[in-house]
């Protein structure tokens, strides 16, 4: 328990640091501008690809094939490079790459190195290493040059200076050049071009990263929008390519397949401005050198790990960051070590170690928004879970909370105590804990729990029903009224019910990395599932947890959300009820992105007479609740929630319906704190109200 209390003592300081980031007006404005532009550009350009899922499968397959044969393919590339007069060097670790390039630069006879954008060079901290050797390193990508002069790290894998406004950029160059620089992007670019031209002409070493390497016709593909990579590669007498082991593909055709997807998915461009292809030394003058440095640094070890191996498919498009609610809230300096975002947690674990990776992984909500945009089909939330599971000495407070939830009797005792000692609504906590209630009101558990009520009603565990109702812990103790409404609704629709003996679904344990507890709960629940009847869920999180059992190989009955079940029962008929209101649906992350249930809730609500359905992109935004996340990182959770609440207020929504009790807690708490006239209810409650045409919506 000592470790648990130590972590809890660290929380207030963490909250204060996050509060500073969240309240930074420059960061807020810069991220909002960029993310809106990227999202709109991607949406407009995506149609040129056709079926995005088909492209994802194709890209996934070609990368998996190449990774399986990576040693053979790199051997072929090495042979070709050396036959052409180049030098091939495999750096096993970051230090090896630094030392090789540093020695090469010192022996070149000059002191100036020009460098194209390369996240791999950031990984090995190349610039920091070269400076004490008397070498001046000049970043030639505009974004990289901005942050180099500002003394910062990249905050986005594609747009390194995304966190800066044009006014901030002008200030950086004004300070660097000792004169006023206008905040006009065109004029800034013109000035930077003039400054860099002399650097290109005077450098002895030019270095770039590489996007893709093909093995059939060994070639190095470099995509840029400014042409600086081409100048770095062709003008200086010494050309250095630094690339990772994972960048290999089998054929030139595979390389072009990736480039068909990469710019579209990344920032909404059908094509990049420049695509340069190198097959050997560019001998425009006698004695030019080509050095290919291929970095391992944990990559080949990751090939042996079934989970981390999936991260090696990443093509650095950055789309997962562009849609991530956490990244859009705190940016890529906070949600990163060197690599950013959820995928950055996996890459940090592979290349820099688990301790740094755990801090990055901890900030991820697991919402799965990234799953919808990754062109390589990488299951990023699973990678984050994997990182957490490998770090045993951190996350003890989370694991303790999850283990409490997993012990049903202990949880019931804790809920009963909370009912006795806590007010029904908590709008302000004292001391440092005040951060938890800054953006939302807390609700206490409600008694009696759902299962005793259901059994008193005559519902039996595993007997006598057409379907088996699974309530979940949140319904059981916080919202038993939702369970009662679901039973009443289904009974009045003529559906015979049975209930299930319930344990925690185990998903919270899996999310925090407690794999042993997950497996224990998986086994218990597997033994409790009644055979031969569909399982009907009132909680999207629980349904997602049971879906994972199927992924682990367990035989399961059909798993159904309430909207799916009722649509099957209604057929083409309307819902037999009415309720006149402006209604919106909040898509729980687990329901929409992890389970792919998108159309059914809207279809069901549209069949209720009198409903004016309010739709929009904001309906799909994560609410920031994410179970324990709202308690672990309240400043981030509250900022994510704010966007949802602003939408409800702007659209005049009267009733917000959802299918996740955890989301109800977050959204209802935010609505009450903000004083909005919005009722937040579960789908079961809303439909029962429609049957009764009740005006007082309760939950």
CB 621 within 8 A of CB 325: yes
According to CATH, what is the number of the domain 571-692?
3.40.50
Q: ∠ CA(516), CA(520), CA(524), 5° rounding?
A: 170
Q: 506-522: per-residue pLDDT in tens?
A: 999 999 888 899 999 99
With a cut of 50, list the residues of the chain below it in pLDDT.
Answer: 694-699
**How far is Cα 100 from Cα 483, in angstroms, rounded to an integer?**
65
Q: Where are the domains of the chain?
A: 21-300, 432-567, 571-692
With 0-12 / 13-18 / 19 or more C-beta atoms within 10 angstroms meaning exposed / middle / buried, residue 420 is: exposed
Give the HSE-up count for residue 57: Cα atoms under 13 Å, Cβ half-sphere: 3
Q: 117-166: per-residue pLDDT in tens?
A: 999 999 999 999 999 999 999 999 999 999 999 999 999 999 999 999 89
- The fold for domain 21-300 equals Rossmann fold (3.40.50)
657 Rama class: left (phi>0) / alpha (psi -120 to 50) / beta:
beta
CB 183 within 8 A of CB 170: yes
**How far is Cα 41 from Cα 5, in angstroms, rounded to an integer?**
47
pLDDT, position 280: 86
The sign of the dihedral angle between the CA atoms of 397, 402, 407, 411 is positive
Of 504, 515, 513, 583, the C-alpha closest to 545 is 504
Helical pair 325-334 and 25-45, crossing angle rounded to 10 deg: 120
Of 403, 637, 380, the C-alpha closest to 512 is 403
Q: Which CATH number fits domain 432-567: 3.20.20, 3.40.630, 3.40.50, 3.30.499?
A: 3.40.50
**How far is Cα 18 from Cα 2, in angstroms, rounded to an integer?**
25
Domain pair 21-300 / 571-692, same fold: yes
Q: ∠ CA(597), CA(598), CA(601), 5° rounding?
A: 95
Of 498, 577, 595, 496, the C-alpha closest to 540 is 595
CA distance to 225, 521, 578, per residue, from 274 (Å): 6, 53, 58
Of 243, 292, 7, the C-alpha closest to 124 is 243
Give the HSE-up count for residue 1: Cα atoms under 13 Å, Cβ half-sphere: 0
Q: ∠ CA(310), CA(312), CA(318), 5° rounding?
A: 100
Q: Where are the beta strands (DSSP E) in 245-322?
A: 248-249, 274-278, 289-295
The sign of the dihedral angle between the CA atoms of 414, 418, 421, 426 is positive
- pLDDT > 90: percent of the chain: 80
pTM of the model: 0.93
């Amino acid at each position: 328990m000592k470790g648990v209390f130590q972590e809890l003592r660290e929380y207030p300081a963490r909250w204060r640091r996050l509060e500073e980031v969240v309240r930074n007006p420059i960061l807020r404005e810069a991220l909002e501008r960029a993310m809106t532009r990227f999202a709109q550009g991607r949406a407009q350009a995506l149609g040129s690809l056709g079926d995005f899922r088909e492209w994802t499968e194709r890209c996934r397959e070609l990368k998996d094939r190449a990774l399986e044969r990576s040693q053979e393919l790199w051997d072929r590339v090495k042979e070709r490079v050396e036959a052409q007069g180049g030098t091939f060097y495999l750096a096993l670790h970051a230090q090896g790459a630094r030392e090789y390039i540093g020695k090469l630069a010192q022996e070149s006879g000059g002191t100036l190195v020009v460098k194209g954008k390369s996240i791999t060079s950031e990984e090995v901290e190349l610039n920091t290493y070269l400076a004490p050797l008397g070498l001046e390193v000049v970043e030639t990508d505009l974004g990289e040059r901005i942050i180099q002069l500002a003394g910062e790290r990249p905050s986005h894998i594609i747009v390194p200076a995304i966190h800066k406004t044009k006014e901030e950029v002008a200030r950086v160059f004004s300070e660097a050049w000792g004169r006023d620089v206008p905040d006009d992007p065109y004029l800034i670019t013109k000035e930077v071009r003039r400054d860099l031209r002399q650097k290109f002409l005077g450098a002895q070493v030019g270095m770039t990263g590489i996007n893709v390497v093909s093995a059939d016709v060994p070639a190095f593909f470099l995509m840029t929008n400014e042409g600086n990579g081409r100048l770095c590669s062709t003008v200086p007498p010494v050309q250095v390519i630094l690339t990772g082991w994972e960048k290999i593909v089998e054929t030139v055709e595979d390389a072009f397949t990736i480039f068909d997807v990469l710019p579209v998915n990344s920032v909404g461009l059908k094509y990049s401005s420049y695509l340069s292809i190198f097959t050997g030394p560019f001998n425009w003058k006698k004695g030019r050198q080509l050095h290919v440095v291929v970095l391992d640094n944990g990559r080949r070890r990751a090939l042996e790990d079934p989970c981390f191996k999936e991260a090696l498919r990443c093509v650095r498009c950055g789309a997962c960051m562009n849609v991530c609610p956490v990244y859009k809230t705190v940016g890529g300096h906070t949600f990163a070590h060197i690599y950013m975002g959820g995928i950055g947690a996996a890459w940090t674990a592979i290349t820099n170690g688990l301790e740094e990776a755990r801090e990055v992984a901890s900030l991820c909500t697991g919402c799965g928004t990234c799953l919808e945009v990754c062109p390589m089909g990488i299951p990023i939330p699973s990678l984050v879970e994997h990182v957490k599971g490998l770090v045993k000495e951190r996350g003890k407070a989370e694991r303790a909370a999850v283990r409490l939830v997993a012990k049903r009797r202990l949880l019931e005792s804790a809920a009963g105590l909370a009912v006795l000692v806590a007010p029904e609504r908590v709008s302000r906590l004292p001391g440092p804990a005040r951060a938890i209630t800054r953006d939302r009101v807390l609700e206490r558990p409600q008694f009696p729990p759902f299962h005793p009520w259901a059994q008193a009603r005559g519902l039996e565990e595993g007997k006598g029903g057409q379907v088996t109702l699974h309530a979940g812990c949140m319904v059981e103790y916080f919202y038993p009224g939702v369970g009662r409404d679901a039973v009443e609704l289904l009974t009045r629709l003529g559906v015979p019910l049975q209930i299930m003996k319930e344990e925690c679904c185990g998903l919270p344990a899996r999310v925090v990395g407690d794999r042993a507890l997950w497996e224990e709960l998986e086994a218990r629940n597997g033994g409790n599932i009644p055979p031969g009847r569909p399982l009907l869920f009132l909680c999207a999180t629980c349904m997602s947890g049971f879906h994972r059992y199927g992924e682990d190989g367990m035989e399961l009955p059909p798993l159904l959300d309430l909207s799916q079940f009722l649509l099957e029962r209604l057929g083409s008929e309307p819902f037999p009820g009415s309720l006149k209101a402006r209604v919106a649906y909040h898509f729980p992350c687990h329901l929409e992105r992890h389970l792919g249930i998108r159309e059914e809730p809207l279809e069901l609500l549209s069949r209720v007479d009198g409903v004016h359905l309010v739709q929009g992109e904001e309906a799909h935004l994560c609410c920031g609740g994410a179970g324990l996340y709202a308690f672990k990182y309240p400043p981030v959770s509250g900022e994510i929630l704010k966007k949802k609440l602003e939408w409800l207020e702007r659209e005049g929504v009267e009733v917000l319906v959802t299918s996740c009790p955890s989301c109800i807690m977050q959204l209802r708490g935010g609505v009450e704190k903000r004083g909005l006239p919005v009722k937040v209810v579960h789908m079961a409650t809303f439909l029962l109200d429609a049957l009764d045409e009740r005006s007082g919506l309760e939950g």
